[in-house]
A and B are shown apart, each in its own frame.
Chain A
């Protein structure tokens, strides 16, 4: 087939009506269902008005890989996730590592040290720290990359069956090229993004599971085009080409046209199967590869988690700057003193035995290493920077990363955060904000799927103005719900629904009575107006099969199950028709068209051809959108009654939907059909056109009824919320639901209590928003009179809706809202749009320093999750959008309590302590060096050997701090759960603040003075040599910092024992090793030193004297101003356990 460009441009003019399947795209029901919002999110891409023009199109010749690939080199199907090759590893890995500031600091110091004028340390010693961290990181990277190489190899060598010269042959995945025809069998994984040509199903349906792609485990339907369906690739020559978008990462969008045998067809997301999906319930499928290898949507989507920086780290950086100032001050002091010393001895330098300015060995007598006082001062400054470099604890950044990995390990493996229903562990997606979990002040929660299970259950129905909300009965006795006979087998729905007896009786009457007729219409509408696919599943009993309704919206599933329970069982769905078993009688309806759900219309509709030839449009949607299009001239009283029922349903927290119906006359049907076909084959602005067609059709409906679906609260939610509130966190619920639903959920989740005063703001103009805000503020102040009657002051709950927020957010009213909200104990926002959720989070984030946390499960929560300081995704019923955007992911809302109160608290305490300890540890060492410099003529001699200086922070003292920061627990899990108020320690920054910082610095100063001056005075005027004294100082500092740490360890496990005492032993061994190297000046010093009594007396004396003040102050504070944590710890150990047990809140009832 030949083609030229002119032909391609012409595709806008569809010559052939296409099958209706193009519209069978993902669509959704209203309101709470997030599906809608994620389609909304992608609509801008998939429904774009772009025309595929040649510039950004790719042209795929079906079954002609050569021709396809001749002009543009499309990527082959081999993938490479590995970053490095054998040769590129070293340069590339080094390049990447040096992107970090810490390493650059190390590098600059190492380079400075290489200048002969400044060589403080020997070559080896100066490069060691840098090469150590580089090596560790490189080994880690190399290992990870090796694993990636291995998985790449396995992936690339998988086999697929590809059409080669009219026969399907096995071919390795990596050899597949764009344009080739591939055949998949059931349970095959798809090797590349493929447009379906035909499937084993006569209607061209293929079922796929996308769990590897987006984590959703339900089956999705994809369709082959009618035009290609009949072709067998081996026999028929398929001539044609596909013109599609450039590769992009939108997994829910695809836009292409196919020209086959001269026909133009348009292709959408329902015609493509993506790499990584698995073919299910379909014997075989044949498709043509359009995107391969790295250009597949799955590969384009493999990106990392967003990076945030923790609050603690931000605060820490401020103190690091202070430390840099100290460092500069120390260096200035040394260099100025050095200058003064040189000036005073200027005339003697030449003959001074220990200076000797001149070099006499050459014939020309020159200055040796002396370039004038000015330069000497400058060099001294640089040298002192090198010597005192660890004042800035660069290794701290590396330790923090290790610690966070360790903390994440324990969070992930916590049994109490494992969700059995979804078989999911806790997930740490962001690795650098663990400690933020301990300082949360505001919790923003989504409702559906987060507080509730998002497992919908059909509850009540209002049918043609009659409310069927009587007592529910389960099937009495042995009766097991509705079932039908198919070929001698019993088919029954997989999920049972409690039924209303009266309604069940009436529904059996069929079309005979007036009520029966309405009920018939209602359930038919429920069974037909959806996108559910029934899947028949075997049971152990061969005579019985279960019908599993697979679909993307839980609401729809619930409605279809309900319809089945009342005898309207959906049995089969193909692109063109559905089969419904109505009270034992099987009926086939033609699906003539479907208008998918969109968030503008907030409804969907299906056009159904009845067996008797009539055509009806059935519409289902949110109440406010439906009442606008219902014909109000008919049955006004019924409309009123329905509205009343809806009110009462939503007031008990149910989700409501309204169903309407209308018969189409022939002329109207034809008019619709032609415009529908034009719209659905349009390449440009297809979605907008379809929406217009839908709006034209959906009007003057007759009301059929309304349904009420219950979304049950998740287990443990009320208790969790109570704990969070006790922990002084403000819980805000942001939901898209109606106000009544939101309030009732608020009550059932114990967010709202009866003694709360509710302030409701529903305004629809800026002025009224303003006045209601002002009124609310006044009431609020009245209730919160300071010093009001004892503890039980009524608190205020603010309930505000999305419309009012439109007028408040991003205007000057924000300030008032903030003031009001921060005075309220509870805030409920209903009917809010995804972006408003983010706006509310931003409202708090901008105005306070308090940490915010957002938790949600759907695509509509993504913006809020990303906006908050900490974003948590619930991996539940809805897709994986929220999880992908989150920092942490978990299975249940109630896990928030152990996560924040226990792990968050621990992480914060551990990290805060570790940072302060690292400051202290490095500063004490630097100060000891500094004091010594004052006694060497300000020349930066170090008594401590260069090797010890270097090993100090990477070996002598590094392990215990990391171990303690991973394992120490300042309070037991039991007390933290029993007293949620203990969480306040993090909110009040008790483990890391400037007071603690300055106290630490003062303590450091004292300790360094003791360590330095005790030996100095003890050995003044003695014959001790530099190396011996250096060894003493080395050991003393290491002993001291480890004793200091040991004093602060709260829980001594064998690991902490091993690391703390182990480092002391390791240090001794290292010092001994250094001192048995004969070519080092300090040869044998440690042995000579240890043979003298004064050494031991010094060591003991200074280790104790240095920590006595700290010990005294600590004990004093502990007694007189005990922290809550301290008391809880005591209570935990001595008695009072009765009380703890009594108050303990069982947050996980399922737990044994």
Chain B
């Protein structure tokens, strides 16, 4: 017989029992909200009572904004060119000056913002938004990084392609109508300083980058730039380069720091240079005050009032529901198998 040792009993090894912790047993302390009828009604009422005042305040703020919109793209085309607008707009020799009148409906307190508004201009078109070189705008060292700027990247200077600064379709299509406002024979001063974001003038656009070869190609898209002023000072360009999100947009032209009284008549003397006729776009001059909510827009106020109203209505409905068709919470007799047994 073998001298048998105690080998078989060695199996009493360490226990594999999982260590207890609230985490592993999925028993972490937890907040288990249950929306009781009370809570449901309270939430609806809370939304209603939050939204209705906000709606009213927004609507009120929007009402206080005074806005004058003056569409001039059609009126500013002389009779003789009405049939052939593009001949008029593309000919640099025609007189583009145009005069119009606007009336101030209500008193406007400074600052009054002067915008131009373009309709149907897809500044968010894919070809367009991509056609810019942020590197080039920022630093003179990247002058020739124009790869993204096609088809407005280089100018063929006597067979030798040189980079255009600022390159790209966006810069190329710079808006170039100009406005002068005259109130009672006095020129209203439009302050064009500080219309661009500070972050843009300080960081994004370089103070050592000067326009070069700009608008030198045959097809001219828009405004020209003074080659002796660095890009960081060309605020019109900077504003234009912040491409608009939507096909109908406004861009800041300048600010008026005097107030306009109701029924004032203002004469607008403008240079109608920019070609929106090719795509049937509209051009408008907008004078507007602002409020905390921005420009004149009733939408947010109405939307808030609607949502608030609906929630109030829902709250009432739920109250009725709970009164006329109550259900005790957690009543086991409502469990499906118990209901079945009763039937």
Residues of A within 8 A of B (CB): 186-187, 200-201, 205, 209, 211, 217-219, 280-283, 345, 348, 351-356, 358-363, 368-369, 409-410, 412-415, 418, 420, 423-425, 535-538, 548, 550, 571-572, 579, 791, 935-937, 939-941, 943, 967, 969, 973, 979, 981, 984, 1014, 1016-1030, 1050-1055, 1078-1081, 1083-1084, 1087-1088, 1092-1094, 1097-1098, 1100-1101, 1104-1105, 1108, 1111-1112, 1115-1116, 1118-1120, 1122, 1124, 1127-1136, 1139
Contacts and interface: CB of A to CB of B under 8 A. Distances in A.
Contacts of B26: 410, 967, 969, 973
22 contacts: A280-B7, A281-B4, A282-B2, A356-B169, A356-B221, A360-B151, A412-B18, A418-B17, A420-B15, A536-B1, A537-B6, A538-B6, A936-B124, A1025-B245, A1026-B244, A1027-B242, A1101-B51, A1101-B304, A1119-B322, A1124-B335, A1130-B329, A1134-B34
A536 B303 CA distance: 88
B293 A1104 contact: no
Contacts of B129: 941, 1026, 1081
Nearest to B217: A360
Contacts of B250: 1021-1023
A1016 B246 contact: yes
Given A356-B151, A369-B151, A1131-B329, 20 more contacts: A211-B11, A281-B7, A348-B278, A351-B275, A353-B172, A361-B153, A361-B155, A368-B150, A414-B24, A420-B17, A535-B8, A791-B341, A939-B122, A943-B124, A1023-B244, A1026-B123, A1104-B47, A1120-B321, A1122-B334, A1135-B330
Contact of B217 (A361, A414, A424, A940): A361
B122 A936 contact: yes
B159 interface: yes
The 4 closest A-B pairs by CB, nearest first: A1131-B330, A1130-B330, A359-B151, A353-B173
A493 to B, nearest CB: 14
Nearest to A550: B8
B332 to A, nearest CB: 6
Interface stretch (B104-112, B185-193, B198-206, B224-232): B198-206
B199 A1088 contact: yes
Interface of B: 1-9, 11, 13, 15-20, 24-26, 28-35, 37, 40, 43-44, 47, 51, 54, 58, 86, 115, 117, 121-129, 132, 134-135, 138, 150-156, 159, 161, 169, 172-173, 197, 199-200, 203-204, 217-219, 221-222, 242-252, 275, 278-279, 292-295, 297, 299-300, 303-304, 307, 310-311, 314, 318, 321-322, 325, 327, 329-332, 334-337, 341
Contacts of B246: 935, 1016, 1019-1020, 1024, 1029
A1017 B299 contact: yes
B127 A1022 contact: no
A1050 B32 contact: yes
Nearest to A1022: B295
A1021 B28 contact: no
A362 B156 CA distance: 7
Contacts of A1052: 30-33
Nearest to A418: B17
Contact of B299 (A969, A1018, A1028, A1030): A1018
A1094 B65 CA distance: 14
Given A353-B173, A1026-B245, A939 B127 contact: yes
Contacts, number: 331
A345 B31 CA distance: 59
Contacts of B310: 1108
Contact of A1020 (B17, B173, B248): B248
Nearest to B311: A1108
A1092 B294 contact: yes
Contacts of A1030: 245
B204 A1083 contact: yes
A281 B279 contact: no
B8 A281 contact: yes
Contacts of B54: 1097, 1100-1101
A355 B128 contact: yes
Interface centre among A201, A1092, A1108 (most CB of B within 10 A): A1108
B2 A1127 contact: no
A1017 B299 CA distance: 7
Contacts of B245: 943, 1019, 1024-1026, 1028-1030
Contacts of B2: 200-201, 205, 281-282
B331 A1127 contact: yes
Contacts of A1025: 242-245
Contact of A187 (B7, B138, B153, B154): B7
A1051 B15 contact: no
Contacts of B31: 1051-1052
Contacts of B322: 1119
Contacts of A360: 151, 217-219
A693 to B, nearest CB: 31
Given A282-B2, A353-B275, A548-B8, A936 B294 contact: no
A1017 B301 CA distance: 11
A1017 B293 CA distance: 13
Given A1081-B243, A1124-B335, A1093 B292 contact: yes
Contact of A361 (B86, B121, B154, B331): B154
A976 B261 CA distance: 74
Given A1094-B294, A1097-B300, A1136-B332, A1088 B222 contact: no
B128 A354 contact: yes
Q: Give the interface centre of A1018, A1024, A1119 by most chain B CB atoms within 10 Å.
A: A1119
Contacts of A424: 16
Given A1078-B203, A1104-B47, A1127-B335, A1093 B294 contact: yes
A354 B169 contact: yes
B125 A1022 contact: no
Contacts of B159: 363
B199 A1133 contact: no
B25 A415 contact: yes
A1098 B153 contact: no
Contacts of B336: 981, 984, 1124
A739 B321 CA distance: 58
Contacts of B117: 1021
Contacts of B5: 186, 281, 538
Contacts of A935: 124, 246-247
A86 B130 CA distance: 43
A1096 to B, nearest CB: 10
A981 B138 contact: no
A836 B275 CA distance: 85
Nearest to B302: A1017
B1 A572 contact: yes
B294 A939 contact: no
> Which of B28, B30, B152 is most buried by chain A, counting CB atoms within 10 A of its CB?
B30
A1122 B35 CA distance: 13
A548 B178 CA distance: 107
A414 B132 CA distance: 59
B126 A941 contact: yes
B124 A1131 contact: no
Given A201-B2, A351-B275, A369-B150, A413 B329 contact: no
Contact of A280 (B8, B33, B122, B128): B8
A1018 B296 CA distance: 10
A557 to B, nearest CB: 13
B221 A1078 contact: no
A1118 B304 CA distance: 27
B134 A353 contact: no
A689 B16 CA distance: 47
A536 B1 CA distance: 10
Given A353-B221, A361-B155, A1104-B307, A415 B18 contact: yes
Contacts of B335: 979, 981, 1124, 1127-1128
Contact of A1051 (B11, B32, B47, B115): B32
B135 A1079 contact: yes
